[in-house]
Amino acid sequence: MKRAIILVMDSLGIGASEDAHMYGDEAANTLGSIATQCAAGLADNVDRQGPLKIPNLMRLGLGAAQTASSGEALQGVNEPQLIKASYGFAIEQSKDKDTPSGHWEMAGVPVPFKWGTFPKTQPCFPAELIAQFIEQADLPGILGNCHASGTEIIKSLGEEHIKTGKPICYTSADSVFQIAAHERHFGLQRLLEISAIAKELVNELNITRVIARPFVGETATTFQRTSNRKDLTTPPIDTTLLDALKAAGGEVVSVGKIADIFAGRGITQCVKGNDNMALFDAMLDCLKTAEDNTLVFVNFVDFDSHFGHRRDVIGYAKALEAFDARLPELEQMMQGDDVALITADHGCDPTFPGSDHTREHVPVLFFGPSVKAQLVGARQSFADMGQTLASHFGLAALKHGQAIKIN
């Protein structure tokens, strides 16, 4: 029985790419920076202390992949005697360091152009775009209109939003138009409706995503975002692994925001989860009932949204350790021909200036009962991962990528 699981540790880069200077990210190394701070005692608190503790990820080759990628071992983290995976790293060929590009490329579709973005000015959005948005969505106006951290802008403008009914609109270095609004005072359904209007308007600007960011709470100190986030994403520009597997009669189970990232294309079932641990639970539940020719595709978003963007080293370290501790549960459930892949879509170094993604290599860790232990080296595209899984499922070769012989 052929099944596969993709676990995307959203933003877990393992060293700056050769072209990182083009993005201002020359010194970025998400995993390496976290390990260094842990080894130095800078990530200690009441819940965790000392060097980074990720023995299962190390056994699956994450440390060795980090060394191969960056030339530097993880500080304070012991290397295992044996690595039980096909491990290496991948170099992104897509022109941006955003979530859709990274995921599409790992599914076999690199993006050969840059997406549209908004300038780092205030206001940052074109006046005509906002005028059309206000008119078509029947709004009293908007707040924000700038580059911002999502949690910070909600803190600063959330109370005014509740009073005025004006949604909070902001962006980042990515190709994105984000809209934050209160679930109760503004309404979740209303937020989703105006987000759909915004997506239609930004399409001509080649903006990849509109993200609806609902939040709750009554004051700046109590506001917090909810799990009802919705990403409205441009569909993939070509046939992905997901499309090919679905067309061949297989099942593609989206856990978390995967369905949003692929605009629903190639998906046969959607499962949600409130946080990384809930997503891990959902992944295991899906695997229990998964039949032949099923791909379970999971994005663990907390690494990026809660810790990378917020530059929270301690939180990121704790999340890595919690994720690591659960990997044996997955391994125990895997059957003879099952293949799992741990990877990432970009970096988001929590020690780096700003709050944006970082241009980095990503880990490529294939494991399973029949997967051989080997170094697979530097993969020249994330698409090698999709091509490898296409081969695993016996599908026709995708347009991009070189399959890795993992068994």
> Is residue 300 very low, low, confident or very high in pLDDT (cuts 50, 70, 90)?
very high
Residue range 162-216, pLDDT digits in tens: 999 999 999 998 999 999 999 999 999 999 999 999 999 999 999 999 999 999 9
Length of the chain, please?
407
Per-residue confidence (pLDDT) for residue 355, from 0 to 100: 86
Specify the CATH number of the domain 3-111+237-392: 3.40.720.10
Residue range 16-25, pLDDT digits in tens: 999 999 999 9
Residue range 216-271, pLDDT digits in tens: 999 999 999 998 999 999 999 999 999 999 999 999 999 999 999 999 999 999 99
**What ranges make up the beta strands (E) of 133-286?**
143-147, 168-171, 176-182, 209-216, 224-225, 230-233, 251-255, 269-271
Which residue do the tokens 């209109």 mark?
145
Angle in degrees, CA 176, 246, 364, rounded to 5: 60
> Is residue 354 very low, low, confident or very high in pLDDT (cuts 50, 70, 90)?
confident
Across the chain, mean pLDDT equals: 97
Task: Domain ranges for the chain, please list them.
Answer: 3-111+237-392, 127-232
- What is 127-232's CATH number, 3.30.70.360, 2.60.120.200, 3.30.70.1250, 3.90.850.10? 3.30.70.1250
Task: Work out the percent of the chain whose per-residue pLDDT is above 90.
Answer: 97
* Stated pTM of the model: 0.93
Burial of 288 (0-12, 13-18, 19+ CB in 10 A): exposed
289 CA to centre of own chain: 25
